[in-house]
Amino acid sequence: MHDFSSYIGIIGGGISGLTLGCSLRKYGINTVIFEKEPNLHDEGAGISISPNGLIALEHLDLKNELEKSSYKSSKAILKYNNSLLLEMDSPVYTMNRRNLINILYKKFIDLGGEMLFDSELKDIDIEKKECLFTNSSSSKIRHFIASDGIKSLVREKFFSNRSQPIYSGYSAWRGFIRSENPNVEITFSSNKHLVSYPINNDLKRSFTGIIKSNEQVTESWREKGNLETFIEYFEETDNKIHEIFESAEDIYKWGIFVRPPLKSIIKKNITLIGDAAHPMVPFLGQGACIAIEDAYTFGYLCHELKCEFDKVQKMYQLLRLKRDNKIQKISLNQGKLNHLKNPFLVFLRNQLMKKTDIVSNRLKAIHNYDVHEETIKSLTN
């Protein structure tokens, strides 16, 4: 048995677990991350980080690194099939997810954090404060953080809503192409949409195409898809699609899964963060950003409240639960808007986008959240 009884033990070394690791180590709090995989996640996929996520990363002294490894488009273009709906300033940094994970991991290790790979959690004994791993090792822990993603075992075992992840009705293809297009682009079509953006200065561009479909696809980042099928589905979105996707590298296809919102994300000495607490459909690009907000909040509260976990958890829940559940719900509603089929409703939506500020106002309401300020405000109230 490893004695980490003076450590916060984080189950899962994805974006939320690593961000929390950085946040805790910034204040010298003993932290260990247990990751089931033998090494860091290396799935190549694009990710966009909006200003609300960026603020947290800035407070963790990671903004410069992020800027160096990402691309900042100045414009976002919204289209319906081949015609322009809207052009607006783009507020997001876009990058390869692998780079973000590497930046967070490096920072965590530089700050003196420990990460144990090949450590898949099997069970937790809450009373004894012990966790047991599938490799038969076990560890004594001071407080447990579950950042083990959408399929969270901890959530399933310890939280009241034990339902398994369910297929959302959306399936996605993703991959990379080469393109000189410097903009973020979102193209809507009947019952589908396509998002693409540059991820670096070398003309590499990430794309994600999403359709609403009853045909259920596995929840996996590693399932290969078929380029011809993808092009067939998305032909109407762009009359140059064959040309554009000639340069496509491997293409992956997977099902998007959801879990219903929880009434509580804390239980005894366990706290949920990130997708374990609130998996999100990706239609606002907020899953990782909200996970980063969660992680930053928990780390800062541990520091300010001197790791008195009862107080930390209560304050964390107060700050996070409402916002997490709200963004989860808005993301689902955005999915309905993105996948309209009825020509009259499509017309209405497109007119609203063209003629009002609805899109930028909706985004600003999410992006303007300053996680640092909000946490301080809650501590002084």
Ligand X SMILES: Cc1cc2nc3c(=O)[nH]c(=O)nc-3n(C[C@H](O)[C@H](O)[C@H](O)COP(=O)(O)OP(=O)(O)OC[C@H]3O[C@@H](n4cnc5c(N)ncnc54)[C@H](O)[C@@H]3O)c2cc1C
Q: At what angle do helices 371-380 and 51-59 cross, to 10 degrees?
A: 70
- Residue number with CB closer to ligand X (12 or 51): 12
- Residue number with CB closer to ligand X (44 or 274): 274
Angle (CA) 105-107-112 rounded to 5° is 95
Please, what sign has the CA dihedral across residues 375, 4, 291, 158? negative
- Residue number with CB closer to ligand X (217 or 291): 291
How far apart are alpha carbons 314 and 207 in whole angstroms?
Answer: 39
140 is written with which tokens?
Answer: 């004594």
Could you tell me the smallest distance in angstroms from the CB atom of residue 37 to ligand X? 5
Could you tell me the smallest distance in angstroms from the CB atom of residue 97 to ligand X? 7
- Residue number with CB closer to ligand X (17 or 335): 17
- Residue number with CB closer to ligand X (218 or 356): 218
Could you tell me the smallest distance in angstroms from the CB atom of residue 344 to ligand X? 29
Could you tell me the smallest distance in angstroms from the CB atom of residue 279 to ligand X? 7
- Residue number with CB closer to ligand X (14 or 225): 14
CA distances from 153 to 10, 36, 144, 148, 325 (A): 13, 12, 13, 7, 20
Could you tell me the smallest distance in angstroms from the CB atom of residue 276 to ligand X? 6
The contacts of residue 60 (CB under 8 Å, 6+ apart) are 19, 22, 23, 26, 107, 296
The contacts of residue 312 (CB under 8 Å, 6+ apart) are 298, 301, 302, 305
Q: What's phi and psi for 288, nearest 5 deg?
A: -70, -35
Contacts with ligand X by CB under 6 A lie at: 11-17, 34-37, 41, 47-48, 120-121, 147-149, 153, 172, 208, 256, 274-275, 280, 282, 285-289, 291
**Strand 31-34 vs strand 114-116: parallel, antiparallel, or unpaired?**
parallel
- Residue number with CB closer to ligand X (210 or 307): 210
Would you say how long the chain is, in residues?
Answer: 381
Could you tell me the smallest distance in angstroms from the CB atom of residue 343 to ligand X? 27
The contacts of residue 332 (CB under 8 Å, 6+ apart) are 168, 258, 281, 283
Could you tell me the smallest distance in angstroms from the CB atom of residue 333 to ligand X? 17
